[in-house]
Amino acid sequence: MLSARAAGSVFISISTVSVAESSLPCSSAVEAELREDFLKTLQCMMLSRTLEEKLGSLYRAGGRIVGGVYLGRGQEAFSAAAGIHLRWEKDVYGPLIRDQAGRIAYGEPILDTMRTYLGVVTGPMRGRDGNIHRGQPQKGYMAMISHLGSLVSVVSGALFARRLLGTLGDTVGATSIGDGGTSTGAFHEAINMAAVEKLPLVVSVANNQFAYSTPTTRQYACENLVDRAIGYGIDGHSVDGTDLLACLKVFRTAFQRARAGHGPQMVVGRLLRLGGHGEHDDASYIPDVKKHEHEGRDCLIVAQQQALDLGWATKVELDEWLKNARREVDKAQAQASKEPTPDPYRESWQALSTQRLAEGMGQ
Ligand SMILES: Cc1ncc(C[n+]2csc(CCOP(=O)(O)OP(=O)(O)O)c2C)c(N)n1
Ligand SMILES: [Mg+2]
């Protein structure tokens, strides 16, 4: 791990961590925790990938999913490594479009996902959202906002509210953004405010090298996105987003520092999305050569190999977990498929964001 200090900020770069380096000695207690987190996270990644494959095929088959399907294929390690550090109903989480794996690691049941995509009334958004804008704000689980950058101030606002109410305790907040989203004014304003207020916030920046079809060379002029942390006066961390163990280590540090009062943490993961922006997009603008670079490797395959290399799981166990994931996804699909869609004559159609959802916020 390299460490350099600049203008009060800590830059922790583990960008070159390989499997061998990832297994560098740490205390046995920390190693045991890392191993436990790794195995849990890997199973979340498997479940996420299986679920998303099912959603993709339902979308392509047509008829049942209305609206777009936006997947996190290739970003599961980075997303889930953040989600695993969050406590359901205690911490604040504002996931973005590629965070299905993070949502699972955080604790959202996949039945909620399936119910949302199938538009049934039993889903968390009562069938009014068809994909990713679901949440349960009364639990600190913020419904995604599509306007890029806005979630940072929503999560910060929830943390700030708790601080004012005296209920912040050891709460931490986390949200995500893509390389493209970091160019918005909303992102800069929110990060600046969170830095000034020293909020316990972890911002995952998934640098998947494209914002839809716009490459990062047309997105920002600085060399590394993590360098922006210097300007905000916050900690910046950089990690290989395809390496689960490296991601877990860096998020572990980031969440510890946020909870310990060191203010916002920006974690930048380098990776590539292994698919289109959404399932409607064939990503033909991503050059083949990029797909064969280090960032184009599949984090799920890498993580399974890491588990085997470290002796943390056997091939039989990996196969069993994948089978379990398939069973769970099939079960969720079967359940949600028999549930009703909203009845337009009986639903009040009052905005969900009013009283009922707001109840309990900040507590
Ligand atoms: C403020 C704003 N501008 C434009 C859009 C339209 N839009 C949705 S996703 C997207 C690309 C986002 O790219 P990036 O932030 O890199 O995330 P990625 O999709 O690569 O994960 C754009 C331009 C938006 N949602 N919000
Ligand atoms: Mg991007």
| Bridge partner list, 5 | 10
Instruction: Please indicate, yes or no, if residue 69 is contained in any of the structural domains.
Output: yes
Contacts of 310 (CB under 8 A, 6+ apart): 19, 23, 35, 245
Let me know if residue 251 belongs to a domain: yes
- In angstroms, the CA 92 to CA 144 distance is 12
- Reading the block at residue 70, the tokens are 């936006």
pLDDT of res. 340: 96
Pocket test of ligand 1: the residue of 52, 71, 212 to mutate, having most ligand atoms within 8 Å of its CB, is 212
Task: List average pLDDT for each run of 10 residues in the chain, which is 363 residues long.
Answer: 33 34 66 96 98 97 92 98 98 98 98 96 89 91 96 97 96 98 98 98 98 96 95 98 98 98 98 96 95 96 98 98 98 98 82 57 40
Strands (E), 134-234: 173-178, 201-207, 210-211, 214-215
Is 362 part of any domain? no
Q: pLDDT at position 146, please?
A: 95
Q: Closest ligand 1 atom to the C-alpha of 70?
A: 19
Counting atoms of ligand 1 from 1, which one is nearest the CA of 149?
Answer: 1
pLDDT of residue 66: 87
Structurally, the chain folds into a number of domains equal to 1
Q: Give the pLDDT of residue 353.
A: 55
- Give the number of whichever ligand sits closest to the CA of residue 182: 1
Question: Do the domain assignments include residue 79?
Answer: yes
Residue with the two structure tokens 């020293």: 198
Q: Whose CA is nearest to atom 17 of ligand 1?
A: 178
Question: How many CB atoms are located within 10 Å of the residue 301 CB?
Answer: 10
Q: Which domain holds residue 103?
A: 2-340
Question: What length does the chain have?
Answer: 363
CA of 224 to the centre of ligand 1 (A): 19
Ligand nearest to the CA of 150: 1
Residues 6+ apart with CB under 8 A from 96: 144, 151, 175, 176, 177, 178, 181, 206
Is 354 inside a domain boundary?
no
> 291 CA distance to ligand 1 centroid (A)?
21
Which residue has its alpha carbon closest to ligand 1 atom 21? 178
Side by side, the strands of the sheet bearing 201-207 are 2-6, 9-14, 235-240, 265-270, 201-207, 173-178, 92-94
Residues paired with 10 in a beta bridge: 5
Ligand 2 is an ion; its neighbours by CB within 5 Å are: 178-179, 208, 211
Ligand 1 geometric centre to CA of 129 (Å): 19
Q: What is the CATH number of the domain that holds 233?
A: 3.40.50.970
**Which atom belonging to ligand 1 lies closest to the Cα atom of 177?**
15
Task: Establish if 363 belongs to a structural domain.
Answer: no
Ligand 1 atom nearest to CA at 182: 15
Q: What is the pLDDT of residue 125?
A: 87
> According to the model, what pLDDT value does residue 321 have?
98
Which atom of ligand 1 is nearest to 75's Cα? 21
Q: How far apart are the first and last CA of the chain?
A: 38
CA distances from 296 to 176, 184, 249, 270, 334 (A): 20, 26, 21, 10, 34
Q: What is the pLDDT of residue 150?
A: 97
Per the CB < 8 A criterion, the answer to whether 58 and 79 are in contact is no
- Strand 2-6 and strand 9-14: pairing? antiparallel
| Ligand 1 center–CA 307 separation, angstroms | 33
Cα 222 to ligand 1 centre (Å) = 19
- Residue 40 domain-assigned? yes
Block residue for tokens 């109410």: 165
Ligand 1 lining (C-beta closer than 6 Å): 98, 146-148, 178-181, 184, 206, 208, 210-212, 273, 277
Global pTM value: 0.92
Determine the Cα–Cα distance for residues 362 and 192; give it in Å rounded to an integer: 22
Residue 51 domain-assigned (yes or no): yes
Distance 22 CA to ligand 1 centre (A): 32
For residue 317, is it left (φ>0), alpha (ψ between -120 and 50) or beta?
Answer: alpha
Q: How far is the CA of 242 from the centre of ligand 2 (A)?
A: 15
**92 Cα: distance to centroid of ligand 2 (angstroms):** 23
The CA distance from 98 to 175, in Å, is 11
Question: What pLDDT does residue 314 have?
Answer: 98
Please answer whether residues 100 and 71 qualify as being in contact, where contact means their C-beta atoms are separated by less than 8 angstroms: yes
- The whole-number pLDDT of residue 14 equals 35
Residue 264 tokens read as 């916002």
CA 299 to chain centroid: 14
